[in-house]
Homo-oligomer: A and B are copies of this chain.
Amino acid sequence: MDRRTRQRLAIVEAIEKASGPVMPQEILRVAAANVASMNLSTVYRTLSRMVAEGVIVPVQLPGEPVRYERREAADTHHHHFRCTSCDSVYDLAGCVAGLKSLLPRGFKMIRHDITLYGTCRKCGA
């Protein structure tokens, strides 16, 4: 990100303000509040760069468009929770043991993804 443009600052701010992983559309919506001319292409291009720079990481949940979150949050191994009521995605600290026992012989595990679905605190009331 060579230049500090209004657009980039607004996009970075939108991601940092978010409480969890956010989608490009959501970033556009928030960033457009500060920079009227904000464009979806700019959001996508900026996100690609930030991923390449390691500032943010893509969060892929099964069957949904990509979301992004700060790399800082991703430095500690974690997984995600998706509220089936409000569609928000939350980070979950920690992991589980025993994943390797699921592997058939001859298979080697390099990484894994876990997604939990259900209702978050807000929606569970």
The interface of chain A, by Cβ under 8 A from chain B, is 58, 60-63, 66, 79, 81, 84, 90, 92-99, 101-121, 124
Contact = CB atoms under 8 A, between A and B. Distances in A.
A99 B96 CA distance: 7
Given A60-B62, A62-B61, A104 B121 contact: yes
Number of copies: 2
B112 A107 contact: no
A116 to B, nearest CB: 5
Contacts of A117: 109-113
Contacts of A108: 118-119, 124
B110 A119 contact: yes
Contacts of A98: 96-98
15 contacts: A60-B63, A62-B115, A84-B110, A90-B107, A96-B97, A102-B116, A104-B121, A107-B121, A108-B118, A108-B124, A110-B117, A113-B113, A113-B117, A114-B114, A114-B115
A113 B60 CA distance: 12
A108 B79 CA distance: 15
